[in-house]
């Protein structure tokens, strides 16, 4: 069923996505491949439409977090290479092979289990080996005394039957920071990664086709880390601290509407808990955007939404499905008018800062009941409401 409701919706500007892709592609140069990170439903933008657009634009690879996310893309006709960054149980190897999905391998135990399964079903699983150079999350630990053992293990993985080691990668912990200590840490991670690759390649006959490590922070600040492929997420969506200086545009604009407007006398308390009391006669609008849509309740009394006539402060506690905004100084705003929560005019970076979090969390918090409206050349080309209608 298709919703025609314009309650609260996210406009996904696929032209902005294309602009960001081309801008980043010019930055990395023709010799470097481009992997677009589309995990978590493409950071809340809708993984299918975003992936379709990236495929048309000529991106080389996609990355998701799980086999479920990878299968969603295959089932909707995405044919390009997909890398699963997270863990997949070995009993899914046959499916990975059949669907041409590449799996990250983060330990010798997992590699052996994948290999046994691949041999059993008579296929070859494409893998990218994950090296832990200082993120301390997934991957083969290669710092300090573990270096030689790590190199030996990775060589063992590459020699296992049924596995094709197409790539090797690592992940930076502070590539988006600019202070001396962080820069030294990132340089250390990169140097260790390069030493590890060099040692492994020296022992094996074949070099890795795809060596990659550059996430958003590194694409913006560390051109020397691009290697064979870059792996940005947030930049692609035109958000975060580097997007502006790189000339990127926000892809998502989250909009809602003023549903009713009422004027209250001075000393009226607004919403649950009575945490806002009108200091004067106050004109309050109700907008259908609450914490069950992805708003952060911690932003109660602590942020503004943008109307056509200027910012309207949120007053009182944010409720599950609604919140209240102050229109006293915005007499031109009336019931039915559009309000931007974040996006092209009201930066998600500012709202994230007010919520004491990062734009990633606000983007990925936009809930399934918020309609996604896909725009191309200013016209709507599709919409998705992810409810079980």
Ligand X SMILES: *Cc1c(COP(=O)(O)O)cnc(C)c1O
When asked if residue 250 is in the footprint of ligand X (CB under 6 A), the reply is no
Span interacting with ligand X, options 228-236, 252-260, 283-291, 377-385, rule CB under 6 A: 228-236
Binding of residue 233 to ligand X (CB under 6 A): yes
The tokens for 276 are: 């806002």
| CA 38/CA 206 separation, integer angstroms | 30
Span of 6-14, 74-82, 226-234, 342-350 interacting with ligand X by CB under 6 A: 226-234
Beta bridge partners of 373: 11, 383
The least CB distance from residue 237 to ligand X, in Å, is: 8
Among 126, 216, 253, 347, indicate the residue that binds ligand X (CB under 6 A).
216
Query: Which residues are known catalytic residues?
Result: 39, 272
Q: Which of 32, 48, 85, 373 binds ligand X (CB under 6 A)?
A: 85
Which residues within the stretch 152-171 sit at the binding site for ligand X (CB under 6 A)?
171
Separation of first and last alpha carbons in the chain: 6
- Of the candidate residues 45, 52, 211, 231, the single one contacting ligand X (CB under 6 A): 231
Which residue lies nearer to ligand X by CB, 47 or 325? 47
Residue 336 token pair: 């039915």
The first and second tokens of residue 335, run together, are 């019931």
For the CB of residue 56, give the shortest distance to ligand X in the complex, in Å.
21
Helix pair 180-203, 147-159: axis angle to 10 deg? 50
In the chain, what's the furthest Cα-to-Cα distance? 80
Quick one: 20 or 304, whose CB is closer to ligand X?
Answer: 20
| Residue with Cβ nearer ligand X (216 or 304) | 216
Q: 38 vs 322, which CB is nearer to ligand X?
A: 38
Minimum CB–partner distance for residue 80 and ligand X (Å): 17
Nearest residue to ligand X, by Cβ distance, number only? 233
Q: How far is the CB of 233 from ligand X (least distance, A)?
A: 3
CA atoms within 13 A on the CB side of 2: 4
Q: Which is nearer to ligand X, 151 or 234 (CB)?
A: 234
Cα separation values, 301 from 259, 304, 354, Å: 19, 9, 11
Q: Which stretch binds ligand X (CB under 6 A): 95-103, 225-233, 277-285, 379-387?
A: 225-233
Does the protein bind ligand X through residue 37 (CB under 6 A)?
yes
Q: Minimum Å distance from CB 84 to ligand X? A: 11
Smallest CA-to-CA distance from 50 within 255, 219, 238, 243 is with: 238
C-beta of 42: minimal distance to ligand X in Å? 11
Q: Name the burial class of residue 72, with classes exposed (0-12), middle (13-18) and buried (19+) by CB atoms within 10 angstroms of its CB.
A: middle
What 3-state DSSP class applies to 82?
Answer: strand
Can you tell me which residue has the tokens 């060596």? 211
Q: Is residue 45 within the footprint of ligand X (CB under 6 A)? A: no
Phi-psi bin for 274: left (phi > 0), alpha (psi -120 to 50), beta? left
Interface with ligand X, residue 225, by CB under 6 A: no
CA–CA distances in Å: residue 366 to residues 66, 206, 227? 20, 44, 34
**Cβ nearer to ligand X, comparing 39 with 372:** 39
Give the list of residues 6+ apart from residue 239 with CB closer than 8 angstroms, or none: 250, 348, 349, 359, 363
Which residues of this protein are in contact with ligand X, per CB under 6 A? 37, 39, 85, 171, 215-216, 231-234
């Amino acid at each position: 069923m298709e919703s025609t409701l314009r309650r609260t919706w996210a406009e996904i500007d696929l032209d902005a996505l294309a602009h960001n892709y081309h801008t980043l592609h010019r930055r990395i140069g023709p010799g470097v491949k481009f992997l677009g990170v589309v995990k978590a439903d493409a950071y809340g933008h809708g993984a299918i439409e975003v992936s379709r657009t990236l495929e048309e634009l000529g991106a080389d690879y996609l990355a998701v977090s799980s086999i479920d996310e990878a299968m969603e893309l295959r089932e909707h006709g995405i044919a390009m290479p997909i890398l699963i960054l997270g863990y997949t149980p070995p009993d899914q190897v046959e499916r990975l092979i059949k669907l041409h999905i590449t799996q990250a391998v983060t330990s010798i135990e997992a590699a052996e289990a994948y290999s046994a399964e691949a041999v059993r079903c008579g296929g070859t699983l494409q893998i990218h080996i994950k090296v832990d150079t200082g993120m301390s999350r997934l991957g083969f630990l290669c710092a300090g005394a573990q270096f030689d053992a790590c190199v030996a293990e990775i060589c063992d993985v590459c020699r296992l039957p049924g596995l094709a080691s197409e790539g090797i990668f690592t992940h930076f912990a502070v590539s988006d920071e600019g202070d001396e200590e962080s820069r030294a840490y990132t340089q250390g991670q990169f140097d260790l990664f390069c030493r590890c690759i060099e040692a492994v390649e020296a022992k094996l006959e074949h070099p890795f086709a795809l060596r990659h490590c550059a996430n958003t922070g590194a694409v913006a600040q560390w051109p020397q880390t691009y290697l064979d492929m870059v792996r940005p997420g947030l930049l692609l969506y035109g958000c975060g601290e580097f997007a502006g200086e790189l000339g990127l545009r926000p892809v998502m604009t989250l909009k809602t509407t003023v549903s009713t407007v009422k004027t209250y006398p001075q000393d009226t308390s607004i919403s649950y808990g009575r945490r806002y009391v009108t200091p004067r006669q106050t004109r309050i609008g109700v907008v259908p955007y609450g914490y069950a849509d992805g708003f952060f309740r911690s932003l109660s009394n602590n942020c503004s939404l943008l109307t056509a006539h200027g910012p309207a402060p949120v007053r009182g506690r944010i409720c599950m499905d609604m919140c209240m905004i102050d229109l006293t100084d915005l007499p031109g705003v009336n019931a039915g008018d559009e309000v931007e929560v974040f996006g092209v005019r009201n930066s998600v970076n500012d709202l994230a800062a007010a919520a004491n979090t990062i734009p990633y969390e606000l983007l990925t918090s936009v809930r399934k009941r918020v309609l996604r409206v896909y725009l191309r050349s200013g016209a709507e080309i599709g919409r998705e409401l992810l409810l079980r209608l």
